[in-house]
A and B are shown apart, each in its own frame.
Chain A
């Protein structure tokens, strides 16, 4: 099946710093990628929809200036958590939609811990 890779798989940073998470579709082109956040023992919460070459669409309650999303190519979307705080500590997961089938493929997730 198709592969979606996220990097880094885990990151620890100090409060106030910015962290970038990459999501790559390795063997297919993804016109649309989705970013989710998951707190412990809770479900995945959709944060934003990332479209190649255009601005991301954010879900209600998600600060677009804090969670910067860039989808510069058909195989790469990045999520930057700016001025991270401990409450931003979470598991961030991306998914990519295959251009041909529309099926969603999930990345392995990135665990962010903000000290």
Chain B
């Protein structure tokens, strides 16, 4: 079982719709959860992080965490073509440092 699992996609949504990205993780000791966006050929850029169960909203983005189910998701409201990218879920591995383990990423395509 992979430590962090994501559906590779592609997830195709029309402009203006809500895009829902999902991620599950195996290490119950994980404390921090991150969503990164990566454009082709570029390094990841942080979108959001979440530590507590529940929802966390930042602009058009909402991260949801359910530690009991070991599940974290990212919702993108009013999706724009510029949101088209690969979204990486990352989970810290317990051990004192911010050792992030990444999922394989979900490719999102927002079409006009």
Contact = CB atoms under 8 A, between A and B. Distances in A.
Interface of A: 32, 34, 36, 42-46, 49, 91, 93, 95, 97, 102-104, 106-109, 111
Chain A, interface SS category: strand
A50 to B, nearest CB: 10
A43 B107 CA distance: 11
B100 A104 contact: yes
A97 B103 contact: no
Contacts, number: 44
B88 A104 contact: no
9 contacts: A34-B100, A44-B44, A46-B99, A93-B43, A97-B98, A108-B42, A108-B43, A109-B42, A111-B41
Interface residues of B, number: 16
Given A93-B43, A108-B43, A109-B42, A44 B88 contact: yes
A63 B35 CA distance: 29
A46 B100 CA distance: 8
A97 B98 CA distance: 7
A97 to B, nearest CB: 5
Contact of B98 (A42, A102, A111): A102
Nearest to B107: A41
A4 to B, nearest CB: 9
A108 B44 CA distance: 8
B76 interface: no
B101 interface: yes
Contacts of B43: 93, 106-109
B104 interface: yes
Contacts of A42: 104
Contacts of B104: 42-43
Contacts of B42: 108-109
Contact of A46 (B41, B44, B45, B101): B101
A46 B45 CA distance: 16
Contacts of B44: 44, 93, 106
